């Protein structure tokens, strides 16, 4: 796909595991050439993470495969003079340098922002860390679960009886990666006008707190602290998980007209004229009573029938699926969300990876190649000139 907007942009990716690789995966899907700079003999820690021990041992663990398709890999030890020289040759032709070390690590081995900017004034340097490059927590180690806890996210996940709970996927890593990718794209757009690169300091804690929406803003604006509400939405009612005849069903009738249509379709028009449920605030105050009435009416049909009936009438509603069920949805198949690639080191096996939900001029953004084996591009790696990186 030659019309991808980041075509011609080179990213040097020094990152590990998830937040950084997730960021550069999005940049790759948008057309950038991403070169992973990995530790010799070890590589990205994610190469050894996943549910299949054999893949982990081979350096192609599932966690790595999910975020690194379409990238290149070169092994360099940035403490060795020869490899440092090779890195600086790569740096000279790069547009972006991305890392997610603990704050200050890259500077301590000789590549602080002033040095990087001198070596390549057009370079956009993005550092992702748990807490940012400055402040009293900047040197603390951080993984997704640490940030989930410190952000307040875990305190409002679950019910009053079960909270605090970890969100079931690494949401802080992914949010941090997305904010970094967005910031890099903005910096590249700015550089097109100024000709000068910038230093981006991305804090996973701050990015996560920003992404928590009303949970943060309700407290900042009105002094109302959020509380764990399980599967209910604090901003509206009826909005949450309900019980159809054969299982759970999510309904988000957040607007007055949606509530009225819902009541009509479940055969309970009387709820519309009940003073307890007359408007949004009344429904929120009487949430438990309203949910009880709706659940009783939903027992007449299975969840899929309600999903089709309600959604077709403009009331947001859908079943709760497992991941295994979701990946088989016709909607995802129709939009080409998944791509099948050759499996690194095992051509007889299929590797399926996800896109990012963006279509460009009517086509999904797809990986251009499978994830690289460690050091796969050591011998020959185009730098936009005639450079060759030797192991």
Residues marked as catalytic: 173
Strand partners, 126: 98, 200
In b/e form, how buried is each residue of 238-262, taking b as 16+ CB within 10 angstroms? Answer: bbbebebeeeebbbbbbeeebbebb
* 63, burial (CB in 10 Å: exposed 0-12, middle 13-18, buried 19+): buried
The answer to whether the beta carbons of residues 313 and 330 sit under 8 Å apart is: no
Contact between 15 and 202 under an 8 Å Cβ cutoff? The reply is no
User: Which two three-digit tokens encode residue 307?
Assistant: 């999903």
Q: Distance (Å, rounded) from C-alpha 296 to C-alpha 247?
A: 13
Measured between alpha carbons, how far is residue 292 from residues 22, 76, 242, 287 in Å? 42, 62, 9, 9
Collapsing DSSP states into helix, strand and coil, what is residue 387?
A: coil
Region of 158 please: left (phi>0), alpha (psi -120 to 50) or beta.
left
Closest to 245 measured CA to CA, from 292, 304, 287? 304
């Amino acid at each position: 796909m030659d019309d991808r907007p980041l075509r011609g942009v080179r990213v040097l990716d020094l990152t590990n595991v998830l937040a950084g690789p997730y960021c550069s995966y999005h940049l790759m899907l948008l057309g950038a050439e991403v070169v992973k700079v990995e530790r010799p003999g070890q590589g990205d820690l994610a190469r050894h993470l996943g549910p299949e021990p054999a893949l982990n041992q081979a350096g192609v663990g599932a966690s790595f495969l999910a975020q690194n398709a379409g990238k290149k890999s070169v092994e360099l030890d940035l403490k060795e003079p020869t490899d440092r020289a090779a890195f600086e040759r790569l740096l000279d032709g790069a547009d972006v340098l991305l890392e997610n070390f603990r704050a200050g690590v890259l500077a301590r081995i000789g590549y602080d922002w002033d040095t990087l900017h001198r070596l390549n004034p057009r370079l956009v340097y993005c550092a992702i860390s748990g807490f940012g490059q400055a402040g009293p927590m900047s040197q603390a180690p951080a993984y997704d679960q640490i940030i989930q806890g410190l952000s307040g996210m875990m305190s409002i996940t679950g019910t009053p009886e079960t909270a605090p709970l970890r969100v079931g996927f690494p949401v802080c890593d992914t949010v941090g990666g997305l904010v970094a990718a967005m910031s890099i794209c903005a910096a590249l757009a700015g550089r097109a006008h100024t000709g000068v690169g910038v230093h981006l300091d991305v804090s996973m804690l701050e990015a996560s707190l920003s992404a928590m929406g009303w949970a943060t803003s309700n407290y900042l604006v009105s002094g109302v602290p959020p509380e764990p509400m399980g599967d209910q939405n604090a901003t509206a009612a009826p909005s949450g998980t309900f019980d159809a005849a054969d299982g759970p069903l999510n309904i988000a009738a957040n607007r007055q007209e949606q509530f009225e249509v819902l009541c009509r379709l479940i055969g309970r028009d009387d709820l519309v004229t009940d003073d307890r449920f007359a408007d949004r605030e009344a429904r929120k105050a009487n949430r438990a009573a309203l949910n009880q009435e709706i659940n009783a009416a939903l027992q007449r049909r299975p969840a899929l029938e309600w999903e089709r009936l309600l959604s077709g009438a403009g009331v947001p509603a859908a079943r709760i699926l497992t991941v295994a069920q979701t990946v088989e949805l016709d909607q995802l198949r129709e939009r080409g969300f998944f791509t099948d690639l050759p499996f690194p080191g095992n051509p007889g096996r299929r590797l399926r990876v996800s896109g990012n939900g963006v279509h460009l001029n009517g086509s999904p953004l797809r990986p251009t190649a499978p994830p690289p084996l460690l050091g796969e591009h050591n011998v020959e790696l185009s730098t936009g000139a005639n450079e060759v990186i030797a192991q």
